[in-house]
Chains A and B, each alone.
Chain A
Amino acid sequence: AQSVTQPDIHITVSEGASLELRCNYSYGATPYLFWYVQSPGQGLQLLLKYFSGDTLVQGIKGFEAEFKRSQSSFNLRKPSVHWSDAAEYFCAVGARGLTGGGNKLTFGTGTQLKVEL
């Protein structure tokens, strides 16, 4: 079974600074990888996803993530953070090759981002 670790529970950055949120996964092959964002009181919105091909993926709101197989990581980055990026961010992993009801995502426990003005 797959698992996901987000080692940082809280991160605070200044507006305009760069951001990197860490995500490490455990899975026997190359998984499907996702980053979701959740604003307070809202559901989760997909930021970006990796299925195959180019290991650097671009998402919405200026975010990008890089899949590194050797490190089992899928870290989320943004070159310049805006105050509106303050939210909770979840990394998730899905297994390949499953059909029917087998393909459920496994989520990390989330990283809460605070942006200082």
Chain B
Amino acid sequence: DVKVTQSSRYLVKRTGEKVFLECVQDMDHENMFWYRQDPGLGLRLIYFSYDVKMKEKGDIPEGYSVSREKKERFSLILESASTNQTSMYLCASSLRGGTGELFFGEGSRLTVL
């Protein structure tokens, strides 16, 4: 069964801490994405990557960075967490040149105190 795995389902961090959210996919997909989900706002794209070491900003990249050192792994980094980054974070992957169909992980619920 194909899978996107987010290493942490629930995290609680303090303001100013550095936070790493990890995502691994086993489908050999070229494209990987990080979304943020908030009530009433739907899914908003933070960053995506279409190849190893490549990254592009999405709609709300401020306060975030990403790392893609290996094809299967895509990390989201909050350099200095703030309370307004409390949210559900969803990782997804897709095939290059395909229809854009996304395969999602189960999400990481981050609370910043």
Beta-carbon contacts under 8 Å, A39-56 to B: 41-46, 49, 51
Residue pair B97, A43 in contact (C-beta under 8 Å): no
Query: Quick one: which of B100, B106, B107 contacts A105, CB cutoff 8 A?
Result: B100
A104: B residues at CB distance < 8 A: 33, 45, 48, 58, 100
Residue pair B90, A32 in contact (C-beta under 8 Å): no
For chain B, give the interface size range: 20 to 34
Q: A107-B43, A109-B42 are in contact. Are A100 and B97 (CB under 8 A)?
A: yes
Answer yes or no: B54 CB below 8 A from chain A CBs.
Answer: yes
Residue pair B42, A107 in contact (C-beta under 8 Å): yes
For chain A, give the interface size range: 20 to 34
A92: B residues at CB distance < 8 A: 102
Q: A41-B107, A109-B40, A109-B42 are in contact. Are A46 and B90 (CB under 8 A)?
A: no
B103: A residues at CB distance < 8 A: 46
- Complex alpha-carbon distance, A85 and B94, angstroms: 26
B72-113 Cβ-contact flags toward A at 8 Å (1 or 0) = 000000000000000000101010111111111111010000
Answer yes or no: B56 CB below 8 A from chain A CBs.
Answer: yes
Residue pair A101, B43 in contact (C-beta under 8 Å): no
Residue pair A42, B107 in contact (C-beta under 8 Å): yes
Residue pair B105, A103 in contact (C-beta under 8 Å): no
Residue pair A99, B96 in contact (C-beta under 8 Å): yes
- Complex alpha-carbon distance, A15 and B102, angstroms: 30
Residue pair B94, A41 in contact (C-beta under 8 Å): no
A79-115 Cβ-contact flags toward B at 8 Å (1 or 0) = 0000000000010101100111101110111100000
> Which residues of B line the A interface, CB within 8 A?
4, 31, 33, 40-43, 45, 48-51, 54, 56, 58, 90, 92, 94, 96-107, 109
Could you write out 21 A-B pairs with CB less than 8 Å apart?
A: A9-B40, A32-B101, A42-B107, A43-B107, A44-B90, A44-B104, A51-B99, A90-B43, A92-B102, A94-B100, A98-B100, A99-B97, A100-B96, A101-B31, A101-B49, A101-B96, A103-B99, A104-B45, A105-B102, A107-B43, A109-B41
> Which residues of A line the B interface, CB within 8 A?
9, 32, 34, 36, 41-46, 49, 51, 90, 92, 94-95, 98-101, 103-105, 107-110
